[in-house]
Amino acid sequence: MEILKRAIYGPDPAEQMQKCNSLLRKNQRELERQVGNLKNLEIKTKSMIKIAAKRGDMSSARTLAKELYNMRKQQSRMITSKAQLASVGMQINDAFRVQKIQGSMKSSTGVMKDVNTLIRLPELSGTMRELSQELMKAGIMDEMVGDSLDSLDEADDIEEAEADKEVDAILSEITGGKLGQAGHVPENLPEEEEPEEEEANLDDMRERLRALQS
């Protein structure tokens, strides 16, 4: 009977809304988990930069600072994505409320744009595709945008010279201005972990960063 009812009247809007909100909450929790992981990695990386700087190992210090720069960039993107998710959630709920009042559903270009942006995040691609399918069934989205957002990647690309400036700023920030573009070895930095522990933690940190970015 339920199958026949769905065939005649279509899917139940209340069930669709519930499923969409469930998927949104799932994506929200995943983003929060990833942001938390990145914050923990940032703390560890700062400590390792201080160790490398104290030893006068400029090469390792700059490599770690570049990785920290990438972590912060990724973290910023995830925070922006959380705001986009919240926007999608409000627009979806508004669409279902309008449908309940007016008896018809209208597609939303705003939802379509945000969803297709979020699909591009590796952390969310699977569940966001599932959400997009539900939104298309409900009539909130017409179709997948696909390649129309390629320009976003280009906008995110930063010139190497600018990236180097950011790395210098990070080194100066962490070492209290004692290590930056000039490459001076700082003195009297706080004591950190032993070199043997640092090497093990460096490998572990890089593995975790690669896992987050894959």
Structure tokens at 140: 């909130």
Q: Does residue 155 register a pLDDT over 50?
A: no
User: Is the Cα torsion angle 193, 196, 200, 202 positive or negative in sign?
Assistant: positive
Q: Does residue 115 register a pLDDT over 50?
A: yes
Structure tokens at 188: 């009297």
Report all structural domains of the chain as residue ranges with CATH numbers, in order of start.
Answer: 2-213 (1.20.1260.60)
169 vs 105 pLDDT, higher one: 169
Structure tokens at 40: 């923990």
Nearest CA to 11 among 132, 138, 143, 142? 138
Mean per-residue pLDDT for 49-65? 88
Residue 15 burial (CB < 10 Å; 0-12/13-18/19+)?
exposed
Distance CA 162, CA 150 (A): 22
Highest mean pLDDT (candidates 74-88, 104-118, 121-135): 74-88
pLDDT confidence tier of residue 2, bands split at 50, 70 and 90: very low
Looking up tokens 């490459």 gives 183
Could you tell me which residues come within 8 angstroms of residue 194 by beta carbon, excluding any fewer than 6 positions away? none
pLDDT recorded at residue 150: 45
What are the pLDDT digits (tens) for 8-42? Answer: 445 688 888 899 999 999 999 999 999 999 999 99
**Whole-model pTM?**
0.69
